[in-house]
C-alpha cells in the first residue's frame, strides 16, 4: 500500500496536535456493558486522501471505517470483520474490512456520489435507499466465515448496525459514528462508540444508557479539541464505573503491494497478456479497490513479468 500525501499543511499541523488514533475497550456497570471507543481522525483523513474523496463521500465512507474499526475489537489475533452495505441509492454500496490488529481498509462504490440536486437536510437515508447490511467474521482456524445480514430500515449506518446486532445476535447494541468538519470542509475530528449488553445485563442499566445516549456530546468535536478516547469515556460514563480492558492501535492500512499485482499479471490467461501488449497502452496502471493505491508498470516491466510466468514451450 502507498499512502498518498496529505497536502493541506494546516490540516497536517492539526493532526500532529491530536492524540494518535486508537481503540479503547472498557466495561461499565460492573461488567454489564462492554464499550469500545475509537479515535480515527488521521485514519479518515488518510482514507480521504488516498481515494480523493469529496466532503459527502468522506462522511459516508468515514462512518463505515469507524464502524468496522469498532466491530473488530470483538475479534482477536489475525481475525477480521467485513462490513458490506448493498443498496439501491446513489451510494451504490460500501465495503470495509477491519482486522483485530487495528488495520482498516475499504471503498465506496460510487465516487463521487451522483446527486440530482443539492442536499438540503441532514437526513441522508435517500443516499442508501433500499438495501442490506452484511457483517462477516473471518476467524483464524475456522474453515468457513460466518455472515449475518439484515435489511436496512433507517438509512443510517449507526442505527442499522445496532439493528443488525439486535436481530442477528440478539444483543442490545448502540453505535455512535461521528465525523466532524470545520468550515473549510476539513475532517478535524472523527470517532465513535460501540456499546453492547453482556449476558445478565439489567433493564435498569440499559434504560439509563439509552437515556444517556440522547444527550452525549459530539465525539468528533471532542476529539478535534484534543480530548483522548479515554477522557471522553471517563467524562461521559464515569457514573457507570469505568473498568479499562484494552488499548489498541488503529489505522488505514492495506496488505496490497506491487509484488501482489505482479503475481496477478503473471497469472493472466495468455490471450489477455497478448491483448495488453498489442494494445500498447503504457504505462499500465492498476488500482487497488480497497485502498486506492495505484501501481504503474511500463512496457518493459510487463514484458519481463510475462516472460517469467510463461510455461515452457509457450511464447511470451
| pLDDT tens string 218-232 | 999 999 999 999 999
* CA distance linking residue 295 with residue 259, whole number of Å: 10
How many domains does the structure of the chain reveal? 2
Helix (H, G, I), strand (E, B) or coil at 288: coil
Q: Are residues 301 and 181 in the same domain?
A: no
Do the domain assignments include residue 10? no
Q: What is the CATH number of the domain that holds 38?
A: 3.55.30.10
* CA distance linking residue 90 with residue 74, whole number of Å: 31
- Per the DSSP assignment, residues forming a β-bridge with 299 are none
200: left (phi over 0), alpha (psi -120 to 50) or beta: left
Mean pLDDT of 123-141: 94
Confidence class for position 314, pLDDT limits 50, 70, 90:
low
Confidence class for position 311, pLDDT limits 50, 70, 90:
low
The per-residue pLDDT of the chain, averaged, comes to: 95
Contact 68, 96 (CB under 8 A): yes
Residues spanned by the domain of 203: 20-252
pLDDT tens digits, one per residue of 42-62: 999 999 999 999 999 999 999
pLDDT tens digits, one per residue of 160-197: 999 999 999 999 999 999 999 999 999 999 999 999 99
Q: Are residues 231 and 293 in the same domain?
A: no
**Global confidence as pTM:** 0.95
Q: Are residues 242 and 292 in the same domain?
A: no
Q: Are residues 53 and 198 in the same domain?
A: yes
Amino acid at each position: 500500500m502507498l499512502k498518498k500525501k496529505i497536502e493541506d499543511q494546516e490540516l497536517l499541523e492539526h493532526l500532529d496536535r491530536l492524540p494518535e488514533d486508537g481503540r479503547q475497550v472498557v466495561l461499565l456497570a460492573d461488567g454489564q456493558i462492554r464499550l469500545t471507543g475509537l479515535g480515527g481522525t488521521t485514519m479518515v483523513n488518510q482514507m480521504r486522501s488516498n481515494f480523493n474523496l469529496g466532503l459527502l463521500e468522506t462522511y459516508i465512507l468515514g462512518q463505515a471505517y469507524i464502524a468496522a474499526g469498532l466491530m473488530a475489537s470483538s475479534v482477536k489475533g489475525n481475525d477480521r470483520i467485513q462490513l458490506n452495505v448493498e443498496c439501491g441509492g446513489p451510494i451504490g454500496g460500501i465495503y470495509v474490512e477491519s482486522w483485530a490488529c487495528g488495520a482498516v481498509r475499504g471503498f465506496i462504490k460510487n465516487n463521487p456520489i451522483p446527486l440530482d440536486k443539492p442536499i438540503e437536510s441532514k437526513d441522508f437515508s435517500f443516499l442508501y435507499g433500499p438495501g442490506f447490511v452484511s457483517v462477516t467474521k473471518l476467524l483464524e482456524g475456522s474453515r468457513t466465515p460466518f455472515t449475518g445480514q439484515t435489511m436496512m430500515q433507517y438509512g443510517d449506518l449507526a442505527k442499522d448496525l445496532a439493528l443488525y446486532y439486535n436481530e442477528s445476535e440478539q444483543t442490545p447494541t448502540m453505535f455512535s459514528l461521528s465525523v466532524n468538519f470545520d468550515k473549510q470542509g476539513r475532517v478535524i475530528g472523527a470517532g465513535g462508540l460501540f456499546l453492547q449488553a453482556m449476558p445478565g445485563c439489567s433493564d435498569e442499566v440499559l434504560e439509563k444508557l439509552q437515556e444517556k445516549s440522547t444527550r452525549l456530546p459530539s465525539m468528533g468535536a471532542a476529539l478535534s479539541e484534543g480530548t483522548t478516547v479515554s477522557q471522553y469515556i471517563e467524562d461521559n460514563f464515569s457514573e457507570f464505573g469505568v473498568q479499562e480492558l484494552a488499548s489498541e492501535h488503529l489505522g488505514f492500512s492495506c496488505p496490497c503491494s506491487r509484488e501482489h499485482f505482479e503475481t496477478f499479471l503473471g497469472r493472466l490467461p495468455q490471450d489477455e497478456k497478448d491483448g495488453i501488449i498489442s494494445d500498447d497502452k503504457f504505462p499500465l496502471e492498476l488500482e487497488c479497490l480497497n485502498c486506492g493505491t495505484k501501481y504503474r508498470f511500463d512496457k518493459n516491466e510487463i514484458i519481463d513479468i510475462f516472460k517469467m510466468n510463461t510455461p515452457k514451450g509457450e511464447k511470451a
